[in-house]
Amino acid sequence: MLKGKTALVTGSTSGIGLGIALALAREGAHVMLNGFGDTEPARRGVAALGVKVGYHGADMSKPAEIEAMVRACEAEFGAVDILVNNAGIQHVAAVEDFPPERWDAIIAINLSSAFHTTRLALPGMKRRNWGRILNVASTHGLVASAQKSAYVASKHGIVGFTKSVALETATTGITVNAICPGWVLTPLVQKQVDARAAQAGVDQAEAKRQLLAEKQPSLQFTTPEQLGGLAVFLCSSAADNVRGVAWNMDGGWVAQ
């Protein structure tokens, strides 16, 4: 379905970004990966699906590196047809104890990076009159939790940004939407499971049960594969007129 298209997926060396990269590759899209840590498993996973795979190590908090990444994708693959703004970080603390440098990093990586990738990728999408921009927000783009002020602000911000750019592109072949996962058991959430286990003196299974019971009525983690399926749908022609939505996949979290 996506044969010949190229997807640039930020933060795709693990977790949700990797799940989305693999799902798009399964549909035939070439993939430019990005993110930190060991990049080899992600590269091998995508290449095994028979598409071209690239990698750029841009730090999403640095606008000049973001620009170099978008240009590298265009140079290597000829286009950025699908842009998935997924890289994100978390920090949990009360607002009066929140380290200002953590606030700045969260806003830069979770929100401002999407402004930079979007402004740089959009002219090419407009020339081709086709594009998909998927912003990985969160249920925290729709509702709040205590101790996560920067994350909640960044995710509400990216939902607003999504709507604004969707309106600016509404008469074009470019759609812009947000995906709002509930709990997904990735390294980002594993840290919160570990903190809960240590604080409450419970084992991993109990810490996971408590985390889910607090927010996610299905009591099941959403998976990167399920989110990949939603991303594929949003890239399909069936979704040509889905514009500016913030689509939650959250086991009922925000239905409460």
Specify whether the CB–CB gap between 9 and 179 falls below 8 A. Answer: no
Our CB check for ligand NAD shows the closer of 63 and 181 to be 181
Q: Which one of residues 6, 61, 149, 169 is an interface residue with ligand NAD (CB under 6 A)?
A: 61
* DSSP E strands, the chain: 6-9, 30-34, 53-56, 82-85, 131-136, 174-181, 246-249
Residue 94 three-state SS: coil
Q: Which one of residues 2, 7, 8, 11 is an interface residue with ligand NAD (CB under 6 A)?
A: 11
- Residue 17 contacts ligand NAD per CB under 6 A: yes
- Residue 60 contacts ligand NAD per CB under 6 A: yes
What is the closest distance, in whole angstroms, from the C-beta atom of residue 137 to ligand NAD in the complex? 7
- Residue 15 contacts ligand NAD per CB under 6 A: yes
Q: Which one of residues 117, 177, 186, 216 is an interface residue with ligand NAD (CB under 6 A)?
A: 186
Dihedral, CA atoms, 237, 240, 246, 250, nearest 10 degrees? Answer: -20
Q: Which residues contact 41 (CB under 8 A, 6 or more apart)?
A: none
Q: Which one of residues 86, 118, 162, 216 is an interface residue with ligand NAD (CB under 6 A)?
A: 86
In whole angstroms, give the CA distance from residue 204 to residue 1: 40
Part in contact with ligand NAD (CB under 6 A); list of ranges 58-66, 123-131, 169-177, 199-207: 58-66
Among residue numbers 133 through 152, which ones bind ligand NAD (CB under 6 A)? 136, 138
Q: Is 151 a catalytic residue?
A: yes
- Among 77, 103, 151, 161, the active-site one is 151
Our CB check for ligand NAD shows the closer of 57 and 78 to be 57
**Cα 172 from chain centroid?**
23
- Residue 181 contacts ligand NAD per CB under 6 A: yes
In whole angstroms, give the CA distance from residue 216 to residue 69: 36
6-9 and 174-181: which strand pairing?
unpaired
x/- letters, 87..126, toward ligand NAD (CB under 6 A): xxx-------------------xx----------------
Q: Which residues contact 253 (CB under 8 A, 6 or more apart)?
A: 139, 143, 182, 183, 215, 216, 217
Question: At how many degrees (to 10) do helices 149-168 and 113-128 cross?
Answer: 20
- Residue 63 contacts ligand NAD per CB under 6 A: no
Catalytic residues, by residue number, are 151
Residues near ligand NAD, by CB under 6 A: 11-17, 34-37, 59-61, 86-89, 109-110, 136, 138, 181, 183-184, 186-189
